[in-house]
Amino acid sequence: MHAIRIEAHGGTEVMEWTALPDPVPGPGEALVRVAVAGVNYMDVGARQVGGPGWAPPFLLGVEGAGRVTALGEGAEAEGFAVGDRVAWFYHPGSYAELAAIPVTSLVRVPDGVADETAAAVMMQGLTANHFTTETYPIGPGDTAVVHAAAGGVGRLVTQMAKARGARVIGLVSRQEKAAVAAEAGADHVLVSAGGGFEEQVRELTGGEGAHVVYDGGGIPTFRSSQLALRPHGVHAYYGPFMGVPSFAVTDLPNSILLSYPVVQHHVRTREALVRRSAEVFAMLEQGRISVLVGGRYPLKDAATAHADLESRRTTGKLLLLP
């Protein structure tokens, strides 16, 4: 098989299209022929700087969809069979033609959900589900500020917040992305490439501020996100590869609550993964959310996908096709 492998951290030039032996599923694993792999900012961070579990050499990618071709010893205990269509939430090494994946990380893909759609929502869809249910259970009468509202996560957060009855103020980095955020359901769209948007948010909320800000903008947006909140509002700051600011607890304004939501905590158990994935798939089948594919690339051209993602020129979800 072939896969995208890196031998050292760095720019897109370290991403190598490499021939490797076909993996053999071990106990509790399924061998999956990858149909689609999703691209995430996490992948860019893993390539650039690494982190726990990302010491070179390694294969990039953490999510995808495909079909089971073989089962390791004991893997049938979870009820999977050869030929099943499956998707996975987090499996390092997904930028590959084949992957041996623990069956506990797999979920079945409903007939009404295409492979591309399933691959596109495993990381970002579950993240959006986490943000709008457990991080801040958003509902009617609430106002949410959503960063990067034209991107993969932001677009899904916008749709899920709207489905739960909230009002959404979407932030986009470029004017040409405003229409995408509005199409996803944002009631207001502000163009802001960094901080300084808090006064506009306050104007749109009658001086009160938002109930929650979903902030994946990194250090440049951190303070403005907090100042855009009403008393006891929730600042959901995500994306460790975007930078982690230093601050004193006494710097937090308006008695706000600061959350650092990690989607793995949302699906800590097999039962939670199956249940939350089913919620996302059901919203797709009911038409309450949709996926915008911003680009499709041959797997061997994954470096181009990374370059496009880093440029912030893209909207929606980027996918790799082996």
All domains of the chain in start order, with CATH: 2-109+292-321 (3.90.180.10), 124-264 (3.40.50.720)
pLDDT per residue as tens digits for the range 285-320: 999 999 999 999 999 999 999 999 998 788 889 999
Backbone angles phi, psi at 257, to 5 degrees: -110, 125
Q: Give this prediction's pTM.
A: 0.93
Q: Mean pLDDT of successive 10-residue segments in the chain (322 residues)?
A: 97 98 97 97 92 92 98 90 96 97 97 97 96 98 96 95 98 94 97 93 98 94 97 91 81 96 95 97 97 96 96 89 96
Angle ∠(105,62,290) on CA atoms, nearest 5: 85
pLDDT per residue as tens digits for the range 234-278: 999 997 666 778 888 999 999 999 999 999 999 999 999 999 999
> How many CA atoms lie within 13 Å of 199's alpha carbon, on the beta-carbon side?
1
